[in-house]
Amino acid sequence: MMLLDSCFLIELFRKFTITSMRDRNDPLFKIDWILPTLWRDSLLFENQLPFFVLVELFNMTKVLDPHDNITDLAIQYHHCVSQYASLGPVKILYAYNGISTCGVKHFLGLVYQITSFSLSKSVPLTSVVGDKIKKWEHIQCATELHEIGVKFKKSNCGTIFYNVKFKNGVLEIPTLVIHEKIEYLFRNGIAYEQHHLEEDIGLKYTTDYLTFLCCLINSSQDVSLLCRYGILQNMLGGDEVVVSILNKISTCVVAPRDNFYYSQVFDDVSRYSKQRRNIWTAMLRHNYFNSPWAVISFLGAIMLLLLTLTQTVFSILAYFCNRGC
């Protein structure tokens, strides 16, 4: 079974990119729903094949084509079928040319590496200071942060949606496309982290990112707000569907107590939200400017007050003018 599945996966990777190897009436490339279904099945944690087996079989059947490289073919297949990125094949391969097959356990591990590749090369944000564990606080949801005065901005970080920054009251978040395949990507990424990364890496990017999303999104209003700023692209229809998907995924997410990737971002946001000026701003918006009609009523009251004040001034001036005459 391992031999048969490995040969099938290798030929799938090859024929997807090297179109000259396809048969004329190959059903895999004639029917639209087959490739996304195969991509989903290839990501399932229980379906993983040892990558060294794929490499050995691939080298035994290697053809004389410059594109015939198993890592490059697998990366192109993942990006194109999953609709995970809008980059072209050349840019994709250039971005991830530092990934070696030696450190790849299986296809899911390769997908995990390319989604967190740039983050693993940078200095990680950590919640461990010396020998003491630095405590971090959960942040408020997007609508509450917006009321406090936090501004949301879409980040341009290529394909990496984990890279979140907070500076000068601006929360900069890369765009995340919510489609029907996102649940499989997150669920199996979390399973990979829980099973493999305990001994390899302390940071769990997918688990930490889901913790961040679950804090940020509590209701459909949060989804609508993030969509308005281009941070979320909802391909599923209603905003409630996004909340439902995140709630289902979050059942397998346990918020880390230490070594949390977004601990510094959470601390900065919490510190900003506790400033007295921002608290007053939030109360003002929540109690008096929570709807367009409230804003219109406030502007109408200001205009009425100005007109009354103007009338009073003219009355006083008229009185003194008549008395002087």
pLDDT of residue 54: 93
Arithmetic mean of pLDDT over the chain: 78
**Helix/strand/coil for 7:** helix
Q: Is the pLDDT of residue 297 over 50?
A: yes
Beta carbons of 251 and 193 less than 8 angstroms apart: no
Q: What is the DSSP string of 220-249?
A: HHHHHHHHHTTSEEE-SSSHHHHHHHHHHH
Q: Give this prediction's pTM.
A: 0.73
- Closest CA relative to residue 177, chosen from 83, 104, 52: 83
Query: Residue 166 phi/psi, 5° resolution?
Result: -135, 125
Rounded to whole angstroms, what are the CA distances from 119 to 74, 125, 206?
Answer: 21, 10, 12
**316 C-beta neighbours (distance < 10 Å), count:** 10
> How far is Cα of residue 91 from the mean position of the Cα atoms in its chain?
20
Angle at 52 between CA 89 and CA 95, to 5 degrees: 25
For the chain, domain boundaries: 2-115, 129-273
Q: Which of 130-144, 174-188, 204-218 has the highest mean pLDDT?
A: 204-218
- Tens digit of pLDDT for each residue in 45-72? 889 999 999 999 999 988 777 778 888 8
Q: Is the pLDDT of residue 177 over 60?
A: yes
Is the pLDDT higher at 266 or at 88? 266
Is the pLDDT higher at 286 or at 135? 135
Beta carbons of 217 and 141 less than 8 angstroms apart: yes
Least-confidence region, from 63-72, 149-158, 240-249, 279-288: 279-288
**Helix/strand/coil for 87:** coil
Q: Is the pLDDT of residue 263 over 80?
A: yes
Token pair for 318: 């008229």
Query: Residue 150 phi/psi, 5° resolution?
Result: -70, 130
DSSP 24: T
pLDDT of residue 65: 73
Helix%, strand%, coil% for the chain, nearest 5: 60, 5, 35
Average of per-residue pLDDT across 90-118: 70
If pLDDT is split at 50, 70 and 90, which confidence band does 6 have?
Answer: very high
